[in-house]
Chains A and B, each alone.
Chain A
Amino acid sequence: MAQAALARETTEEATEVALQTRIKAGATLEDISEMTPRYRDVLVATMAIAADLEIMTLPLDYDAIAFAPSINDRIAVASALQDEMGHAQVMFRMLEDFGFDSYHQVFERDPKNFKTFFLLEFGNLSPIDVGLGHLVGDQAGYITTRDLEENCSFGPYSRSLRKVNFEENFHVKRGEYMIRHYMQQGPEMRKRVQDRMDFWFPLGAEWFGATDDVKSRTDQLHYKIRGSSNDQLRQIWLQRLVPFCEQVGLKVPAHFDSERGIYVLDYQMPILLNLETLKWDFRTVTWPEKLAQWKKGGPLKLPGLTRMQVELWGQDLW
């Protein structure tokens, strides 16, 4: 018995080594049958989070559609949301082939078990947030999914992200267009945008997760599910966002460190958001404290996902 188990383990290890060697040499996997259980787990976890992030935009964008200032603005937000739902559809469809039941995942799963990010868990207050959401949030999302498209060793997933990235890039451009416009509307409007940017910026910075010194998702990098580490992706985000902000006159807590040749935050991650005042406390805390805040989630998460799972009719509509 022990010998049989040992033999099995040895075979599994050999398959694992063979897979890793193939991936290292730049091979792309096309079918589940080519995966080892460990590879499969890492891939599925990555895809499942991406799918949850897409679906969370439904409650997030809904209010933005409803409070839009004009026909054009309502069309623009609805169009962005249509894209996100299209991405969710593609991702959940792919997960079906891995034995996931997308109907159950979307409509029956306890909202607490959705793996969304803090940045998506706060309601939009006005169209300024819509612009900042595109500029800060979609930018962060785009950088993450571009990396997956370029590097992911599972071919179908990488290819599915072509459509996603093609469209996300439009959202970022829309955000730049909106914020540039608002920043030209006089001091009062500039202050309104700045106030909201103060809220959004640290959310965007922490989108990429813990810093590399505490955590680098070695399995994801090991299997080339993605190509860059958290800090590397965050750096790309800073490179794109900080110069734009400086150009339009928005202050953000980050700057270019000419000695090191990189952008750096003016504070040390992680920091906590005061959920009552919605103001950031820039004193550095521990990662377990930060993880606890992420786990607890923002105010939109549970009500937003619950709304998606119920139906309202008649007088509940108007």
Chain B
Amino acid sequence: MAVVNSIEDLSEADKVLRDELYCIADAKLVLAGWYMMVLQNGRSIADFTSICAMMQGQYGHARALYQHLGRFGVTLDEVEWTRGAKDIRSPKLLDRPPQSWSDFVATIFMAEQAISTQLSAYRTSLADRTLARLADKILKESRFHLSYSVGWIKALRNDPSSAVDEDARRRLVEALDWWGELDQPDVVFASGYRDASDSDLRERFLKAVGETFDVPDGIAGHARSWQRSIRRNGAPGIPENLFEKIRFKNRELAMP
């Protein structure tokens, strides 16, 4: 596939693919920021180690996806420096800060599960073999992130008064905002980049969540103004104060 310098040169399918991969990469970028922000709240030395590892894992995956986006004209300069809070396309799920350790655990479970579900549909892509291999590698590495959150959920449930199930219910509604308006045409699926449609992936996600949490019937979020390019309802972008915390600083000191 040729590298292009301008979005205008892209086919319709590539434009939509570019948007979706940007959303997935940004989801990982902001999730990595979550691990960074919560690190010191860890509840054992092994949590400090694990959270550091998951942070690196997510940043590494984000970087690999951004590099892949290079073929659509995306540069690391744009990714790391020229964008502002309004340009970040992470899921709405990650906007609201965790309110407690159990809310944190419930949220990372939903986020890891949602991102992995979406990526799973690229694993068999014949249209882009490099992307397929990348998706497969990321999924394999994410397995331990899921064990971590599931292990914590089980531990927290040992306490009958734990709020983890309640937290998960609230976060599930926020997570479903990622698959907000399924009536819109799904060009990425139709053009063979993904092997499952967005509505199938939403079902796959709910099924995966259902193995750990009760999923109430008819949990659908309300699609009012969902935009596929950002996979969100409402205005684009993440809260300014979240962006300020996770953005990169001291540019002149970046290592080559």
Contacts and interface: CB of A to CB of B under 8 A. Distances in A.
Interface in B34-64: 36-41, 44-46, 48-49, 52-53, 55-56, 59-60, 62-63
Contacts, number: 126
B45 A69 contact: no
A78 B56 contact: yes
Contacts of B63: 71-72, 75
Contacts of A236: none
Contact of B39 (A62, A69, A313): A62
Interface stretch (B120-128, B139-147, B228-236, B237-245): B237-245
Given A182-B253, A313-B98, A81 B52 contact: yes
Given A78-B52, A78-B55, A314-B97, A127 B37 contact: no
B2 interface: no
Nearest to A192: B253
A163 interface: no
A127 B250 contact: yes
Consensus secondary structure, chain B interface: helix
A182 B252 CA distance: 10
A186 to B, nearest CB: 10
A128 interface: yes
Contacts of B161: none
A76 B248 CA distance: 14
Nearest to A103: B44
B254 interface: yes
Contacts of B252: 69, 189
Contact of B255 (A73, A86, A315): A73
B239 A318 contact: yes
B255 A318 contact: no
B34 to A, nearest CB: 9
A33 to B, nearest CB: 27
Interface stretch (A15-23, A144-152, A304-312): A304-312
A60 to B, nearest CB: 12
Nearest to B242: A318
A126 B37 contact: no
Interface in B3-56: 29, 32, 36-41, 44-46, 48-49, 52-53, 55-56
Interface of B: 29, 32, 36-41, 44-46, 48-49, 52-53, 55-56, 59-60, 62-63, 66, 76, 79-80, 97-101, 103-104, 239, 241-242, 244-245, 248-256
19 contacts: A71-B62, A71-B66, A71-B76, A73-B255, A74-B36, A75-B56, A76-B255, A88-B48, A106-B45, A126-B250, A127-B254, A181-B256, A182-B253, A189-B252, A311-B101, A313-B99, A314-B99, A317-B97, A318-B242
Interface of A: 55, 58-59, 62, 65-76, 78-79, 81-82, 85-86, 88-89, 92, 102-103, 106, 126-128, 177-178, 181-182, 189, 307-308, 311-315, 317-318
Given A72-B255, A126-B253, 13 more contacts: A66-B36, A70-B80, A75-B56, A78-B36, A86-B49, A88-B45, A88-B48, A128-B253, A313-B103, A317-B98, A317-B245, A318-B37, A318-B245
